[in-house]
Amino acid sequence: MLTKVLSLLSLVGYVPIAAVLVLCGCRDRDQPFFDALVARVLRRQTSHHYESVRFCFGVYGGLQRLVFRPVGAVDTPAVKGLWYEGNPALIQAPHPQVTVLYVHGGGFVTGSATTQSYDIVQPLIGVLNKEGIGARAFSLEYDLAPEHQYPHQFHQTVAAYTWLQRQNPGSILVVGDSAGGNLIALLLQHIVREGLSPPVATILVSPWVDVAATAPSYTRNCATDVFHESTIHNWRDLYLATQDDAKRASPLFQLVEGFPPTMVVYGAKELMADDIDAFVAKLRDAKVDVTALCHPLKLHNYPAMLRHTASAAEAYVAMGNFVANLMGTLQ
């Protein structure tokens, strides 16, 4: 515990040091100051032992839970998670209704149902409400690596979707960021293979689509993203029981024909950019109705990492428009 607390304190203490380094020019010339500061601080923090990173994310998730409180919890042997709601006046007819299945990121080794509740779940529900759509979200609590390795988290995601369908949720929107985006993409591929009832749409934010993590962007963007390449490789090795699992755990190498309308949001300055580019191209080649929003200057998971910036706000508005346009065609 002492090591974890010291890691958290070192993170706080490093912020002013990082600010000085960024001001002195230790950053990509095209990257805004705040983006570079966030990237530098998080690169340092996520490079620590995964248990320390998990502790820091847990503290952050606890703070988010105080700001955006869940309205209910699910704790069954098969499915665990938290329910969130927006404007209660919209959660009834005649307004169109969406139930969001949200799967959080965190490299499969950290994070929880609360970790991005304020940074992703709340603004997503907010933009849906502004479009006149009633929305609630179920944020999945899945087990983490290395205590549980692939395909355990995938099976939990499938179980959550199957369970959610039995709740008569109406239109389901499946959403995931980073590692959560990986799990959502694998879920969609499973739905197509098994002929299950599909969600109305999906939103993938900086999805980790190739867990091998060897694309050129892992080197090219090493100074502009929130992770070191070595951090991603460490987390990959904790997640996979064997390297033979790498392709099976990577949506980039699976069929995508039959995907529902898909929105992919990511930054050109993130480590995973090349793999996500390839995934978007694969979706288009498969004639999937895909909307890609790639910000040329932004880092990994920028709508969450840069929550209170104009670029994040624009991304959430685009997500709201994407869903509203689809719901309009379904009415």
- What are the average pLDDT values for consecutive 10-residue runs of the chain, which has 331 residues? 59 77 83 95 95 95 95 98 94 87 99 97 98 96 99 99 91 98 99 97 99 98 97 98 96 98 99 99 99 99 98 99 86 53
The per-residue pLDDT for 25 is 76
Place of tokens 């998670």: 81
Runs of H (alpha helix) within the chain:
2-23, 33-46, 50-67, 122-130, 152-165, 179-194, 217-220, 229-239, 273-285, 302-305, 310-330
Round to the nearest angstrom and report the end-to-end CA distance of the chain. Answer: 53
Count how many domains the chain has. Answer: 1
Dist CA 176 CA 183 (whole Å): 7
* Strand, coil or helix: 260: coil
- Per-residue pLDDT of 97-148, as tens digits, reads 999 999 999 999 999 999 999 999 999 999 999 999 999 999 999 999 999 9
pLDDT of amino acid 10 = 65
Find, among 64, 203, 34, 72, the residue nearest to 127 by Cα: 203
Do the beta carbons of residue 111 and residue 57 sit within 8 Å?
yes
Question: Collapsing DSSP states into helix, strand and coil, what is residue 181?
Answer: helix
CATH number, domain containing residue 179: 3.40.50.1820
Residue 111, domain extent: 1-329
Determine the pLDDT at residue 1. 64
Q: Is omega for the bond preceding 169 within 30 degrees of 0, making it cis? A: no
Per-residue confidence (pLDDT) for residue 175, from 0 to 100: 99
Amino acid at 59: V
DSSP state of 196: P
* Total-model pTM: 0.96
Given 3-state DSSP classes, what are the helix, strand and coil percentages for the chain, each rounded to the nearest 5?
50, 15, 35
Q: Do residues 178 and 213 make contact, with C-beta atoms less than 8 angstroms apart?
A: no
What is the SS3 assignment for 44?
Answer: helix
Closest by Cα among 209, 233, 208 to 219: 233
Which among 115, 135, 100, 2 is positioned nearest to 60, based on CA atoms? 115
The model's pLDDT over 161-195, given as tens digits with 9 standing for 90+, comes to 999 999 878 899 999 999 999 999 999 999 999 99
Under 8 Å between Cβ of 175 and 234: no
Give residue for tokens 């709740």: 167
> Which residue matches tokens 């963007």?
221
